[in-house]
A and B are shown apart, each in its own frame.
Chain A
């Protein structure tokens, strides 16, 4: 049966066909839909872990226990999980262990565009890279076979363009796997990495990667497509598709395994062509390895080291390097369209994070942010995030700035899911090493940015089962914080009062602003749009300063001020009443009463 599948859907299908016993992940674009789709198959176990390191250890545990384990994450998630990735390489496992890293060239939704093939080389772990959805599925099965044959974890590296592209996939059968539990191994020489054991394992994994390199010479996913001998192209991943499209005549060596590389195959290929180039996105990973073999090769001198490729970029770069004639150039229309208003992502109408950022902007304090929807508090007119580097960074950065004598009170802002991910150790640090920082946990009862995933605070698991709720306030108190307050996130006055008090303290404090995300299905049922009373609005513009996309400028101008009055778009307004709270002229009436959900 042939089905149109995205790369992520194809990986999920491959996991099912491969009989994965335990799959664990933390959501992160572009990888999120892998586990969401896998969880839809019958009789599977898949879970959201609080962070990627936990997900990695969970998958390793399953593979130690003799069942196939898989950990799935975005590229920067592998930084979080790196410690575990490295020991798993040292120990190997009893059953297959596959790690998916979904890299994000062009940073569609990430803080960097690191190339995680380097992790494979670093960890002496083989790396497979699919070029379309069919291979994304097939390589999951191949990765498990490789893992079990060589007793090694395998990295399956995807990129956004593979994850979020759809192409036809021929579905396969599910591998028959013995479902009975296996006895847990008692093999400390292999699984207890104290120095005495680890020194014996290191030569083993160096030998292993050499054996895999030999195996790679005849691996079917590495294939030569012979063509015109004047140009030879080494390529991998989605870049292979662009190479095929732009150079239909050239000889191509498509590498499906990008670490370790098949040296003899590359040497033989290089010998048959006049000019050898590498077309690969991001780092010159293949290029440098080939150059180290003493083979003359070009790559990043022709194609960029930053961003994503596309057919146009490959063609134009090739023309500039003399690989294609100037007549291959396709001109752009260059119709004058003038400056167009940008459409950056913004906090949605009714977003419960908005009041907190409105107050932070008003208090003019330095704010150390974190990763999530609330990072959008950066955007004008709220303009209330001053640093944001990675998951869980904000609290530690605020503490460090405070210890460095930063003259203002620092506020760290973190979401509920991010707090569970990596906010707890830095909060304990702020207590232990005592700094007067204020931490705000923006608790919208869901993992928001990646599209509403469950987390330890929501009371449900990925498989839809009920789960205990990890309550934030007792957790924060248990970390040693004594100044803790939970307030409704739409209550502008309560947030302002609490923050003004906390900022005066000489000890760390935590404000929890709680309200479910306005886009959650059960919350949508409560939406009731508000209206502006045009007679009472004098165009003071205060409500524009909360940056709500539902509040528009009316065509009607106020007679005295000549400024446009406010107008609420009823199709967008959720009735969160934040604008009603701050309107000084009561021109936006509150809803008459709480609306009962039918």
Chain B
């Protein structure tokens, strides 16, 4: 791994963003990096935007990365992906869940939810490394839509390997160790499948 890797996770309260960032920071620790995480979740349970930072590195001081210094965006919702686009470095990796959750401001407030084309076009101006998957659909095919966040983590693990952002020190088993350590025993099998399905969704077994 290079000196540091800055992640930004973005979603809507209730989507499992915080759990995913908890997994991510602990994966960093397991892999032998210094790792820190910071989240904003004050009123998030009321359906607001949620963001969380995770940083891995040889040395990590600040728990948050400044705008313009994010190496990897993990977005759980399309509008929240776009909202955080300008925090990324040019050519950053962006994994975007195609889930759409319309905010009240768009339902009754007359504001307009961006189209899929708008989102893809905006990301294409910053990076060729934007990847779109439908985590809910993949998780639902495994029997539980709520495992979408683990599908996304699976896809993220594969993309970090694909792009050489992590080295051989970080294996899929490390991810699975952290993930399965955080779910009740009856959900271990589902989460293993969800992680694997996420990897396969971006072309890696």
Interface residues of A (CB under 8 A from B): 2, 4, 29-30, 108-109, 132, 160-161, 164-168, 238, 241-242, 244-245, 310-313, 315, 330-348, 373, 376, 379-381, 449, 451, 519, 544, 547, 549, 551-553
Contact (Cβ within 8 A) B86 A165: no
Complex formed: what's the CA distance from A373 to B48 in Å? 13
In the complex, whether B189 has a CB less than 8 A from a CB of chain A is no
Q: Known: A335-B85, A449-B43. Is A341-B29 also a contact (CB below 8 A)?
A: no
Asked if B167 CB lies within 8 Å of chain A CBs, one says no
Check B105–A165 contact: CB distance below 8 A.
Answer: no
Is there an interface contact between B107 and A337, defined as CB atoms closer than 8 Å?
A: no
Task: Name the segment of B63-71, B148-156, B168-176 touching the other chain.
Answer: B63-71
A549 touches B68 (CB 8 A): no
- Other than the given A4-B26, A380-B109, 15 more pairs (CB < 8 A) read A30-B42, A109-B42, A165-B36, A167-B36, A315-B66, A332-B86, A335-B86, A337-B85, A337-B122, A341-B106, A345-B13, A346-B104, A348-B47, A544-B107, A552-B107
Bound: A540/B35 CA distance, A: 53
Q: Is B72 on the interface with A (CB-CB < 8 A)?
A: no
* Alpha-carbon separation in the docked complex, A56 to B118 (Å): 53
27 contacts across the A-B interface (CB closer than 8 A): A4-B22, A29-B42, A108-B40, A164-B40, A165-B63, A166-B37, A167-B60, A310-B64, A311-B65, A313-B66, A330-B66, A332-B86, A334-B86, A337-B82, A337-B85, A337-B118, A337-B122, A340-B83, A342-B103, A343-B105, A345-B47, A346-B47, A379-B104, A451-B45, A544-B108, A547-B108, A549-B104
**In the complex, A132→B65 CA distance in Å?**
16
Task: Give the number of chain B interface residues (Cβ < 8 Å).
Answer: 57
| B36–A166 touching, CB < 8 Å | yes
Q: By the criterion CB–CB under 8 Å, are B126 and A335 in contact?
A: yes
B125 and A161: CB pair below 8 A?
A: no
A310 contacts B47, C-beta separation under 8 Å: no
Known: A337-B86, A341-B103. A4 touches B25 (CB 8 A): yes
- Which residue of A334, A341, A379, A553 has the most chain B CB atoms within 10 A of its CB atom? A341
User: Which of A161, A335, A343, A449 is the one whose CB lies under 8 Å from B48?
Assistant: A343
Beta-carbon contact of A164 and B41 below 8 Å:
yes
By the criterion CB–CB under 8 Å, are A333 and B126 in contact? yes
Contact partners of B65 in chain A: CB under 8 A:
311
Q: Which residues of B contact A (CB under 8 A)?
A: 12-13, 22, 25-26, 29, 34-49, 60-69, 79-80, 82-83, 85-86, 88-90, 102-109, 111-114, 118, 122, 125-126
Whole-angstrom CA separation of A345 from B13 in the bound complex: 9
What is the CA–CA distance of A534 and B25 in the complex, to the nearest angstrom? 47
Asked whether, in the complex, the Cβ of A166 is within 8 Å of the Cβ of B79, the reply is no
Q: Which of B39, B42, B62, B108 has the most CB of A within 10 A?
A: B62
CB-CB under 8 A from B48, the residues of chain A are 343-346
A332 and B47 in contact (CB under 8 A), knowing A166-B25, A341-B112, A342-B105? Answer: no
Could you tell me if A312 and B61 are in contact, using CB atoms closer than 8 angstroms? Answer: no
Contact check, B38 vs A333: say whether CB atoms are below 8 A apart: no
- B contact residues around A242 at 8 Å (CB): 61-62
Provide the residues of chain A in CB contact with B13, threshold 8 Å.
345
B66 touches A166 (CB 8 A): no
Q: Would A244 and B61 be within 8 Å (CB), given that A312-B68, A333-B88, A345-B46 are in contact?
A: yes
Question: In the complex the two chains form, is B85's CB within 8 Å of A333's CB?
Answer: yes
CB distance from A328 to the nearest CB of B (A): 12
- For A168, list chain B residues within 8 Å (CB): 29, 34-35
Q: Which residue of A lies closest to B42 (CB)?
A: A109
Chain A residues in 8 Å Cβ range of B109 = 341, 380
Interchain CA distance A22-B62 in the complex, whole Å: 34
B47 touches A549 (CB 8 A): yes
Q: A166-B36, A330-B66 are in contact. Are A241 and B61 (CB under 8 A)?
A: yes
Inter-chain contact B62/A310, CB cutoff 8 Å: yes
Query: Is the Cβ of B63 less than 8 Å from the Cβ of A167?
Result: yes
In angstroms, Cα B35 to Cα A164, docked, is: 14
Q: Among A311, A544, A547, A551, point to the contact of B66 (Cβ < 8 A).
A: A311
Q: Is the CB of B46 within 8 A of A553?
A: no
Nearest CB in chain A to that of B118: its residue? A338
With CB as the reference atom, state the residue of chain A lying closest to B101.
A343
A73: min CB distance to chain B, Å: 16
- CB–CB A344/B105 < 8 A: yes
The smallest beta-carbon distance between A167 and chain B, in angstroms, is 5
Closest residue of chain A to B67 (Cβ to Cβ) is: A312
B49 and A343 form a contact (CB under 8 A):
yes
Determine if B68 and A4 form an interchain contact, defined as CB atoms under 8 angstroms apart: no
Shortest beta-carbon distance from B10 to chain A in Å: 11
Task: Point out which of A109, A160, A340 has the most chain B C-beta atoms below 10 A from its C-beta.
Answer: A340
Cβ of B112: which chain A residues have Cβ within 8 Å of it? 339, 341
